[in-house]
């Protein structure tokens, strides 16, 4: 054996020297060199094997040979790739080397075949060695399979952790949002990132109404939305809205698919999730995919989690908006109160200055309202005020604001309206009140009311809320002094600002 090791060492040195000298050769010569080296090495190993066999025969010691082959290796290679196959071969060799004695030789015979020479080992010893190798291989395979399952489970848990973290972050942010549009956009982005649907729609019930509005996507005008989604006019025809239960269709052409007016695809899969808050269906989220069966039970649960969080947040936004709106409105007439005026007026003035557009203020007061109240009672007086407000709302534009200033006094803000336009508008209101038969509102026919109106405009009469209101109030006082039932425009003063 020492002679063999010495011969192989000399051969290795010769090969290294040969390789160093020929390092600059082209690829073909390098390939030939490798083939020559392989032939020399194989010859050396076979020579060693023959020498061992010769020594064994001379010493009358047994020698056993094992031919080993990995079962189903080709299938493994085809399924998991050549890289995985190479690692399997290396793992198998490590098993052989760990079990082999120093005198044993492990030789790769070709492909997945290996040869082992076992000096001083008879047939029974070789059989026992073969069984030990096979059992260790089975145990190693089992351990590798277990490790693979553990890694898969770890990856699954990591994915679940990431999903839970994203959902938690979505929940935290949704509680801070105050605008519905921002919440709709965030929900759409989250569902798009997590599920990747080909189409996504968010439909919401109209507050206090029976129809639905398209909240997402934002590129649908009312006419287009109504044409594409007939369900908007008939929400009860939707199975998800009617039952409050998620509708998951794995194949759009299946008999179980609903006859939907939402415009779902004719092929692929879709998922409809009702948005439920405080036990009430407030909307619907529709997800569509081109691939059948895209919405698995796990993906459905994930989508339900996001939609549930969004529904709760949406309900909170609406409740807060309703409470705020009620706090800013007059309880009797339903128009805005002075608290709202304190918020709105500075914003309107800032906008008027920024755009160099006019802004006008009307102060309105019902003439002889106290006498009406004393004669017909407070209930009649309340109905007179409500009837007067209806006249103001009928004449006002969408951009105008009607505010109950106190008692029978009302204030109107008229954006982009100059002094002449405001005076003409005020005269139209005065004339409408004069013509109105209040008996049609369930009031005594004898009631016939008139109103006086004071007008101020920016910048002629001031550039602050206080200055404009004071100017309009003084003009109203002049209208009362001059006989009531008239419109008076405030006087222009040099120090009006």
Strand partners, 270: 249, 288
Tell whether domain 338-489 is in CATH 3.90.190.10: no
Segment 278-283 shows an average pLDDT of 86
**What length does the chain have?**
497
Chain-wide mean pLDDT for the chain? 80
Q: Is 236 exposed, middle or buried (0-12, 13-18, 19+ CB in 10 A)?
A: exposed
DSSP state of 23: T
Tell me if residue 284 falls in helix, strand or coil.
Answer: strand
Q: Looking at residue 110, what is its pLDDT?
A: 80
Segment 63-87 shows an average pLDDT of 77
Tell whether domain 180-326 is in CATH 3.30.450.40: yes
Q: Round to whole Å and give the CA distance between 129 and 118.
A: 10
Strand partners, 488: 454
Q: Round to whole Å and give the CA distance between 404 and 382.
A: 13
Q: Provide the residue ranges of all domains of the chain, joining segments of one domain with +.
A: 2-147, 180-326, 338-489
Q: What is the pLDDT of residues 448-458, one digit of tens each?
A: 788 999 999 99
Strand partners, 451: 366
Q: Looking at residue 142, what is its pLDDT?
A: 52
Q: Round to whole Å and give the CA distance between 16 and 22.
A: 10
Dihedral, 221, 223, 227, 231 alpha carbons, nearest 10: 80
Q: Round to whole Å and give the CA distance between 18 and 11.
A: 10
* pLDDT at residue 384 greater than cutoff 70: yes
Q: Looking at residue 223, what is its pLDDT?
A: 47
Locate 33 and state its tokens.
């060199």
Q: What is the pLDDT of residues 178-230, one digit of tens each?
A: 888 898 899 999 999 988 898 888 988 876 667 778 888 766 555 445 556 66
Question: Omega of the bond prior to 134 within 30 degrees of 0, cis?
Answer: no
**Residue 311 phi, psi (nearest 5):** -65, -45
- State the CB neighbour count (10 A cutoff) for residue 99: 15
* pLDDT at residue 363 greater than cutoff 90: yes
Locate 87 and state its tokens.
């690692």
Q: Looking at residue 135, what is its pLDDT?
A: 67
Number of H helices, E strands in the chain: 14, 13
Q: What is the pLDDT of residues 19-35, one digit of tens each?
A: 666 555 545 555 655 66
CATH architecture under which domain 2-147 falls: 2-Layer Sandwich (3.30)
**Residue 12 phi, psi (nearest 5):** -65, -40
pLDDT, greater one: 143 or 361: 361
- Cα distances from 258 to residues 166, 210, 237, 240, 265, in angstroms, run 32, 21, 10, 10, 11
Locate 141 and state its tokens.
């395979």
Cα 476 to its chain centre, rounded Å, is 55
Indicate the pLDDT class of residue 497, thresholds 50, 70 and 90: very low
Q: What is the pLDDT of residues 146-182, one digit of tens each?
A: 556 666 777 777 787 888 888 888 888 888 888 888 9
Q: Looking at residue 424, what is its pLDDT?
A: 94
Q: Looking at residue 250, what is its pLDDT?
A: 85
Contacts of residue 201, Cβ cutoff 8 Å, sequence gap at least 6: 214, 216, 217, 229, 262, 285, 286
Q: Looking at residue 68, what is its pLDDT?
A: 81
Question: Omega of the bond prior to 399 within 30 degrees of 0, cis?
Answer: no
Evaluate whether 360 touches 455 at the Cβ level (below 8 Å): yes
Q: Round to whole Å and give the CA distance between 109 and 211.
A: 78
The domains spanning 180-326 and 338-489 adopt the same CATH topology: no
Q: What is the pLDDT of residues 307-343, one digit of tens each?
A: 999 999 988 888 888 888 888 888 899 899 988 888 8
Least confident of 253-257, 271-275, 292-296, 340-344: 253-257
- 447-473 burial, b for 16+ CB within 10 Å, e for fewer? bebebbbbbbbbbbbbeebebbbbbbb
* pLDDT at residue 96 greater than cutoff 50: yes
Q: Looking at residue 125, what is its pLDDT?
A: 78
Strands 63-69 and 401-406: unpaired
Q: Round to whole Å and give the CA distance between 182 and 204.
A: 14
Q: Which helix (H) or strand (E) holds 163?
A: helix 123-174
Q: Looking at residue 263, what is its pLDDT?
A: 59
Share of residues in the chain with pLDDT > 90 (%): 21
Evaluate whether 272 touches 259 at the Cβ level (below 8 Å): no
Indicate the pLDDT class of residue 425, thresholds 50, 70 and 90: very high
Share of residues in the chain with pLDDT > 70 (%): 77
Indicate the pLDDT class of residue 44, thresholds 50, 70 and 90: low
Q: Round to whole Å and give the CA distance between 363 and 471.
A: 9
Contacts of residue 158, Cβ cutoff 8 Å, sequence gap at least 6: none
Indicate the pLDDT class of residue 15, thresholds 50, 70 and 90: low
Q: What is the pLDDT of residues 426-479, one digit of tens each?
A: 999 999 998 887 766 566 666 778 899 999 999 889 889 999 999 999 999 999
* pLDDT at residue 496 greater than cutoff 60: no
Segment 84-95 shows an average pLDDT of 80
Q: Looking at residue 264, what is its pLDDT?
A: 64
Q: Round to whole Å and give the CA distance between 387 and 486.
A: 19
Closest CA to 324 of 310, 306, 337: 337
């Amino acid at each position: 054996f020492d002679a063999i090791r010495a011969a192989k060492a000399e051969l290795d040195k010769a090969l290294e020297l040969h390789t160093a000298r020929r390092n600059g050769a082209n690829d073909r010569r390098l390939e030939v060199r490798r083939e020559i080296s392989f032939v020399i090495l194989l010859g050396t190993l076979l020579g060693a094997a023959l020498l061992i066999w010769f020594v064994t025969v001379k010493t009358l010691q047994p020698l056993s040979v094992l031919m080993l082959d990995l079962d189903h290796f080709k299938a493994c290679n085809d399924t998991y790739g050549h890289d995985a196959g190479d690692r399997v071969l290396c793992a198998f060799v490590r098993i052989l080397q760990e079990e082999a004695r120093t005198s044993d030789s492990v030789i790769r015979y070709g492909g997945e075949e290996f040869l082992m020479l076992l000096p001083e080992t008879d047939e029974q010893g070789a059989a026992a060695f073969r069984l030990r190798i096979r059992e260790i291989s089975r145990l190693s395979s089992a351990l590798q399979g277990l490790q693979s399952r553990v890694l898969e489970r770890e990856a699954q848990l990591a994915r679940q952790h990431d999903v839970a973290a994203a959902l938690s972050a979505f929940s935290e942010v949704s509680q801070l949002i105050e605008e519905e549009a921002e919440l709709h956009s965030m929900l759409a982005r989250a569902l798009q990132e997590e599920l990747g649907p080909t189409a996504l729609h968010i439909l919401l019930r109209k507050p206090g109404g029976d129809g639905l509005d398209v909240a997402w996507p934002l590129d649908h005008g009312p006419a287009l939305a109504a044409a594409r989604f007939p369900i908007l006019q008939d929400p009860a025809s939707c199975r998800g809205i009617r039952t409050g239960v998620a509708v998951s269709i794995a194949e759009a052409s299946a008999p179980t698919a609903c006859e939907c007016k939402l415009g779902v695809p004719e092929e692929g899969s879709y998922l409809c999730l009702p948005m439920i808050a405080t036990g009430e269906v407030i909307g619907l989220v529709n997800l569509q995919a081109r691939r059948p069966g895209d919405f698995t039970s796990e993906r459905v649960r994930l989508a339900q989690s996001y939609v549930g969080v969004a529904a709760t947040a949406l309900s909170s936004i609406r409740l807060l908006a309703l409470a705020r709106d009620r706090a800013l409105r007059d309880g009797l007439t339903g128009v805005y109160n002075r608290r709202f005026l304190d918020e709105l007026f500075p914003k309107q003035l800032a906008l008027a200055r920024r755009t160099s557009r006019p802004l006008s203020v009307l102060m309105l007061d019902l003439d002889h309202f106290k006498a009406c109240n004393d004669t017909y009672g407070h209930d009649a007086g309340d109905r007179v005020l409500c009837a007067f407000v209806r006249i103001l709302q009928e004449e006002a534009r969408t951009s105008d604001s009607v505010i109950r200033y106190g008692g029978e006094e009302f204030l109107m803000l008229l954006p982009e309206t100059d002094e002449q336009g405001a005076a003409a508008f005020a005269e139209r209101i005065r004339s409408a009140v004069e013509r109105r038969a209040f008996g049609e509102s369930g009031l005594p026919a004898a009631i016939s009311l008139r109103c006086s109106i004071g007008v101020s405009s920016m910048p002629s009469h001031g550039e602050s809320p206080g200055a404009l209101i004071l100017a309009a109030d003084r003009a109203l006082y002049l209208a009362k002094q001059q006989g009531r039932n008239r419109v008076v425009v405030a006087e222009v003063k040099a120090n009006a600002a």
